[in-house]
Structure 1
């Protein structure tokens, strides 16, 4: 991993997102939260840090179905997020890490049957988690 420069903006982003590990936020929401913690950080600095943190795998970046905004979620407890797929609950937004054996076999099947080479880092499967499905039943 490249050297990570610790800046007020980066530290603010990490601090905020670590407090909410199961939630996802837009860049605007992250900017507003970090700006409350560390005044004077400009929006461009936050966006630049978000992009860098996605490149290093510290953050997940994805779009929600039928939404225009990109969402970010902290992913430090899962190394190499670029090597496996993710599933997202359409109800609560929670991200699930679909580990390498599943991602690999799924990718091979899609490639052999449809000729599509899946990029695991860009793949998010949308569905409903057990918790939300059980809530809907009650």
Structure 2
């Protein structure tokens, strides 16, 4: 069977642009659908999920499980899937997502392989906590 060629649609471009503009946070499919409706773009929910699945399969976006609900959330993966090479930190209060792409990741990856014989795959992994700003203003 011949492999289907990926093509670019208006909906795909709008969704991808929205995720790029909001790359420091995660978005649910409902957030994306609401954004499309605000831009007066009519699209059904199934189409939104189908496009998100395609973007995930192409390593353009990352899908995470949201700890505050049973739903998935999505984030732009950066150029050439750069975000798949490191863990992310997500603030449980404001939702901000930060990249843990410092040299520590290389050390952690090496330690886990050498000491535990386990190859770390970072795609879709979040560490949850409070960002500096939320921690200052928190009663936790």
* 2-structure distance, mates of 1:115, 1:36: 49
Counterpart position of 2:119: 117
Q: Could you tell me whether the CA contact under 8 Å between 1:91 and 1:132 is conserved in 2? A: yes
CA RMSD of aligned residues (A): 2.7
* Pairs aligned (count): 135
Q: TM-score, normalised by structure 1?
A: 0.77
| Alignment equivalent of 1:44, drawn from 43, 46, 56 | 46
Q: Secondary structure at the match of 2:74?
A: strand
Measured after TM superposition, the shift of residue 96 of structure 1 is: 1.2
1:81 matched to 2:83? The reply is: yes
Counterpart position of 2:72: 70
Structure 1: runs of 5 or more not aligned: none
Structure 2: runs of 5 or more not aligned: none
- Residues 3-54 of structure 1: CA deviation (Å, up to 9, x unaligned): 8632011112123334433332211221232144253322222112112222
Q: Secondary structure at the match of 1:88?
A: strand
Q: Could you tell me whether the CA contact under 8 Å between 1:12 and 1:38 is conserved in 2? A: no
1:101 matched to 2:103? The reply is: yes
Q: TM-score, normalised by structure 2?
A: 0.76
CA separation of 1:4/1:135 partners in 2, compared to 1, >3 Å: closer, same or farther?
Answer: farther
More deviation, 108-117/78-87? 108-117
| Alignment equivalent of 2:55, drawn from 26, 45, 53 | 53
Measured after TM superposition, the shift of residue 80 of structure 1 is: 1.7
* 1-structure distance, mates of 2:95, 2:115: 30
- Structure 1 residue runs of 4+, over 6 Å off? none
